[in-house]
Amino acid sequence: MPEGEYILRSFEQQGDPLPFSCRNGCCTACAVRVLEGSIDHREALGLSRELRQQGYGLLCVARATGPLEVETQDEDEVYDLQFGRYFGRGKVRTGLPLDEE
């Protein structure tokens, strides 16, 4: 993998496409768990400090810092880990969001 290149881009150039969506480190579509090695992913705004410490990373804004082994993750699972505690609480209102006129 070329030094300084985003991991997702490198895989794409090798013909090995991986899941992605925003390419900005804000969603969790390209989330992985680092099994061996480490990554520089300071641009990953879509991951909390806790998830980073648990070994999660976002490949669209991650660069390998040496040999690396990662495991792809289910996007919904990582999304729920990241944002689930903020949603699903409180009252839920149903109906049309705007008055019909």
> pLDDT by residue (tens digit) across 23-61?
999 989 999 999 999 999 999 988 999 999 999 999 999
Q: Is the per-residue pLDDT at 85 higher than 90?
A: no
**Tokens describing residue 87:** 């949603």
**For the chain, what are the domain ranges?**
7-83
Single-letter code of the amino acid located at 64: A
User: Tokens 């008055």 sit at which residue?
Assistant: 99
* pTM over the 0.75 mark: yes
Query: What is the dotted CATH code of the domain comprising 7-83?
Result: 3.10.20.30
Cβ neighbors of 58 (< 8 A, separation 6 or more) are 25, 28, 30, 31, 32, 41, 44, 46, 47
The whole-number pLDDT of residue 12 equals 94
15: left (phi over 0), alpha (psi -120 to 50) or beta: left
- For residues 3 and 14, give the distance between their C-alpha atoms in angstroms, rounded to a whole number: 15
What is the average pLDDT score of the chain?
85
